[in-house]
A = this chain, B = another copy of it.
């Protein structure tokens, strides 16, 4: 069972393993890398019989993000996507379906970056490869 692992994960991140957090974390981290919106995760939790409000899902996602367990992905539009894969990698985005697919961190290489303006440094480079039907 993943229950114990998830509790430890949360504790290590400084978050109390409440029932809702454990349930959400199990959905997020129990089955490999995932890309979720708050709405999708809430739906899954409810389907799994968990009593969680959408507001708590939002709060929890942001707590997990602050704790370094998730990364938010900027794909534009208005929905916020969260990625359970926090290693360095990029994404395909299938416009028609609103679906994200990981591109392994090792495959894409970005060259020719100019120097950032004064007093600023690069925190992160997002590459989103947008896909449409052929």
Contacts and interface: CB of A to CB of B under 8 A. Distances in A.
Interface in A37-53: none
A94 B120 CA distance: 8
Question: Which secondary structure characterizes the binding site on chain A?
Answer: strand
19 contacts: A72-B76, A73-B76, A76-B76, A76-B80, A78-B78, A101-B117, A108-B112, A109-B111, A110-B110, A116-B129, A116-B131, A120-B131, A121-B132, A121-B133, A122-B131, A125-B130, A126-B127, A126-B129, A126-B130
Contacts of A111: 108-111
A129 B129 CA distance: 15
A114 interface: yes
Contacts of A131: 116-117, 120-123
A119 B134 contact: yes
Interface of A: 72-78, 80, 92, 94-95, 101, 103-104, 107-114, 116-117, 119-134
A35 to B, nearest CB: 14
A104 B126 CA distance: 17
Contacts of A72: 76
